[in-house]
Amino acid sequence: MQPIVFSDFNPAQNALEESLFHTANGYLGVRACPEEGAPAGVPSIRGAYINAFYDIKPIRYGEKLYGFPETQQGIVNLTDVQNVRLYLEDEAFEPLKTGEVLAARRTLDMERGIVTRFIHWRSPGGREVEVTVRRMASLAQRELFIMHYTVKAVNFAGRVRLVSREEGAVTNFADPDDPRVAGEALQHLRVEEVRPLPAGGLIRSRTIASGLDLAVAVGYTPPASFTLGVQAQPTALEAVMEGSLWQGQSLTMVKHCVFADSRRHGDPAGAALRILAEASARPVLHYESLQKEMLAAFWRRSRVVVGGDDALQSSLDFSLYSLYCSVGRDAVSSMAAKGLSGEGYEGHFFWDTEIYVFPFFLLTDPALARGLLDYRHTILPAAREHARLMGHPTGALYPWRTISGSECSGYFPSGSAQYHLSGDVAHAFLQYYYATGDLQYMAERGGEALVETARLFLDAGHWHEGAFRIGAVTGPDEYSCVVDNNFYTNAGAQETMRGAAMMTRRLREAGLAGQLLAATGVTQEELAAFERAADAMYLPYDEKLGIHAQDDGFLKLAPLDLAAIPRENFPLLLHYHPLWLYRHQVCKQADTVLAHFLYEDLADEGIMRRSYDYYERCTTHDSSLSTCVFAIMAARLGDLGKAVDYFRQSATLDLDDAHGNTKDGIHTANMGGTWLAITAGFGGLRVKPDGLHLHPRLPDAWRAYSFPLTWRGSELRVHATPAGCRVELLAGDEQSIWVYGQPVRAALGQAAELPIPQ
């Protein structure tokens, strides 16, 4: 596997590289900020984050109406542990400001989980030094971040001083002109204690509004023969290491940093000091070895291989690695829109997780997928409260963006009106059941979520002219807001209500319905009402065009010539008033096209094709969630050349910074969509009530591709070559799956192979 390497020294893209080369483990994320700091004029967003560790801030309105959220949560920038200043005699190492950079390189080793920064620098005084910094967020010990700082004297000998600082007085990043990040820079941590230790120290802080505690413990292993002194300051710790370096000699300082928060630890300070003591007592190779083992297991379960395109392969590897390092691994966290790489969307969890990210984990690591569902079950009480606030006496309405469970969007037309969230969550629970057969989990958690979301849709809708309709909602396309009968939303509501009735029946038949009935009190009359509404669900369709309308009014709006809009005016949301967008046939992202992927049995291929062609002409792809869906459906419809083009756009979005905002963090949902484009698009993968379905197609541009799957506890690998589709059972029990509509038995040592249909 090839590492990701940037070897051009370009200070202008520093903030971008901070995102791309961040280190994370699902709990903790640290941006790849220059240890010596970034001078004025060099973009930098200095940050580190804990998944779902948040503060609360007020939402300010010019005019506030009933039910508008009064506060929102936002991810907190943590105590800064990245500061290391190097002095060669009296000269400071400042490659972004002075001197001459002779060579520079950043490397992400995705097999070892280590990021390396290398700089060969000549000071204004002529001293040459090579600095190599290795960083790792431990997958084995989630609270642990390790930094190796190595200095090599190239052409001089003399005194060297390292000054490392942990700063507790930090603020969050803000950009008042970009709605995708916070609009106001705030300090969310108040330092409560700075405690020096003989070889490190502890900083305890508390969030100002949410009252969450953070403890950061740091331990140093200084270079051999160097002195070490640690000093406490009002909001910071500073360690000074001094010694001599001969020409050609190297020295290394190791810094162990432990972050512990009160959402996971009853005593964060005690936990941080204990973990630090354990980590410091072990050689760093111990954690590096564990990291390599865990990543080897991950790649065995997850790696997609495309033959004939090395650049595309690297982008795929980067996407899947980033997903693994970003996903929450406990019931209080999920997958933020930017993972743990930046502050874009303020660390919020969206519907993106269930639709774009969840399928990857469901079919590669079901335990992690179950953890994502655990989070949604944990915030189910808050979803019930949100439904009551929105006027529903029953049911659960999941918020559009949240951390702790309450709605964080102050703009309800493209926020709270996205009722499809509840359908997306229900879809994930149903997909989990179909893929695992885990009826016990559905009895304990999934069934309750299904019943409550079904209740929400039943109350949100109404009967008119013999059909069940849902008014005043917003679908995934945020350029069309507060519409009647959004096709995507109604299709999801239909599946949710049918799924709730089906699951309740199965639990009763298995004698496992006790917990569900106690939690919800669902009655036979309610279940029958769910099914009646689902059977009569209104799905807007235009007879003249032969397509499903995005909603009741979309096809009546004024068309918009996207080609006539200057390229610098994209994304449109940054250059046009929302009402102007709402009055035109323009889509920010796939909406009806996405519905045809998720709920493909609702339309025949002719309708899908006509819908695809129609909506493609009016979709801007301003959302990173869009091109992957168009790739999936282009492959589904047999247009493999177009599918490859869309897939490439999706796969390279962050490494190419195609949307111009990767500096604020990577696009995790798009990365999940990239995996879906291969597996569900070219591979034709669908998880249905009757099992796993595959329909692989091979583009002319590729020699072959393959991907692993975990299905019912067994490990499979699917290969697509010019000779056909081959399914191997790598481990576990024999499995029966569907390939090209035919039942196939996958057994050890007996690869099932079928020719690709023409």
Catalytic: 111?
no
Give me the amino acid identity at 617: R
Q: Report the DSSP pairing between strands 91-92 and 80-88.
A: antiparallel
Give me the amino acid identity at 133: V
Catalytic, out of 452, 478, 495, 526: 478
Q: What is the largest CA-CA distance in the chain?
A: 88
Let me know: does 72 contact 23? Beta carbons within 8 Å: no
For 706, how many CA atoms within 13 A lie in the half-sphere containing its CB?
16
Residue with tokens 């779902």: 52
| Contacts of range 113-120, beta carbons closer than 8 Å, 24 or more positions apart | 113/23, 113/137, 113/139, 113/291, 113/292, 113/294, 113/295, 113/325, 114/288, 114/291, 115/21, 115/22, 115/23, 115/32, 117/21, 117/32, 117/35, 119/9, 119/95, 120/154
Q: Beta-strand (E) ranges in 246-368?
A: 250-261, 305-307
How far the first Cα of the chain sits from its last, in Å, is: 33
H or E element, residue 688: strand 686-688
Tell me the DSSP string of 627-680.
Answer: HHHHHHHHHHTT-HHHHHHHHHHHHTTTTTTTTS-GGG---HHHHHHHHHIIII
Q: How far apart are CA 640 and CA 120, in angstroms?
A: 46
Q: How far apart are CA 692 and CA 675, in angstroms?
A: 17
Kindly list the distances between the CA atom of residue 35 and the CA atoms of 25, 31, 114, 628, in Å, as whole numbers in the listed order: 20, 11, 16, 36
Alpha helices, H only, 437-562: 439-441, 447-460, 487-509, 514-520, 524-535
Alpha helices, H only, 510-550: 514-520, 524-535
The residues, ordered by sequence, that sit 6+ positions from 606 with a Cβ below 8 Å of its Cβ are: 546
Report the 10 Å Cβ neighbour count for 747: 12
Q: Report the DSSP pairing between strands 558-559 and 584-585.
A: parallel
Q: How many residues does the chain have?
A: 758
| Among the listed residues 325, 434, 432, the one whose alpha carbon sits nearest the alpha carbon of residue 376 | 432
Q: Which residues are catalytic?
A: 478
